[in-house]
Amino acid sequence: MSIIIKDLVYIYNPSSPFESVALDGVSFEIKSGEFVGIIGHTGSGKSTLIQHLNGLLRPNSGKIIVNGVDITDPNISLTDIRKKVGVVFQYPEYQLFEETVYKDIAFGPSNLGLSEYEIENRVKESMYIVGLDYEKFKDRSPFELSGGQKRRVAIAGIIAMKPDVLILDEPTAGLDPRGRDEILSQIKYLHEKYKMTIIISSHSMEDMAKLVEKIIVMHKGKVELIGSPREV
């Protein structure tokens, strides 16, 4: 799936004393199967941009074309888009809501018309990918887990839907160096095995340089630079 972003503008609290222009004319293209990193300092607009990519936020102006469909069109159903564009947000604990890890991860795939057996296999596979032992964690409450474990459950829930586009907002935040390397190498594996289009954001080039094909540098709500990791 390709994504084309054209002149995106997003303003928090417009016409109020708290007005904040978070996206200020953002344009770029992501080709099907590309592995892209978005970097930028805190407050540069990464999360705001990512929340637009599955329609959670609607821009004040500009277009977002996903596989030829303008998802800013209010007449478009976002349900189908959200099955194909999977987003793990920056604070994924808010994406957990079921009483067990199993149910949480199974929630997405259970809306895809799969059999119980297929759903179970998807839960097992995605828990394996994120490094959570199936037997040990499947019946635990997601709310009792550590921050890093919660993040893994949230990632597994999105991976289990096998989206065409996988977007992860700061997937390595709160993980130790080993956890960080594990998650990044598993994301790379998903890219290679399923040819998923992948977008990850980070503060640091360190996470990105070895992984991605293209880097988008955000600065104060604008795209400052787009290039290969060597160029930026």
Q: Contact positions toward Mg ion, by CB under 5 A?
A: 46-47, 90
Q: Binders of ligand ATP among 191-230, rule CB under 6 A?
A: 203
Q: What angle do CA 50, 104, 109 make, to 5 degrees?
A: 75
Nearest approach in angstroms of CB 44 to Mg ion is 8
Report CA torsion sign: 110, 116, 122, 126: positive
Query: Which of 28/107 has CB closer to ligand ATP?
Result: 28
CA–CA distance, 230 with 91 (Å, rounded to integer): 30
Query: Which of 45/108 has CB closer to ligand ATP?
Result: 45
Q: At what angle do helices 116-129 and 147-159 cross, to 10 degrees?
A: 130
151 touching ligand ATP, by CB under 6 A: no
Which of 43, 62, 131, 174 is in the footprint of ligand ATP by CB under 6 A?
A: 43
Beta bridge partners of 3: 30, 66
Query: Which of 13/77 has CB closer to ligand ATP?
Result: 13
91 touching ligand ATP, by CB under 6 A: no
Token output for 5:
């972003």
Other Cβ atoms closer than 10 A to 207: 22
User: Could you say which of ligand ATP, Mg ion, none residue 45 binds, taking C-beta under 5 to 8 angstroms by partner kind?
Assistant: ligand ATP
Task: Catalog residues that contact ligand ATP under the rule CB under 6 A.
Answer: 12-13, 20, 22, 40, 42-48, 90, 203
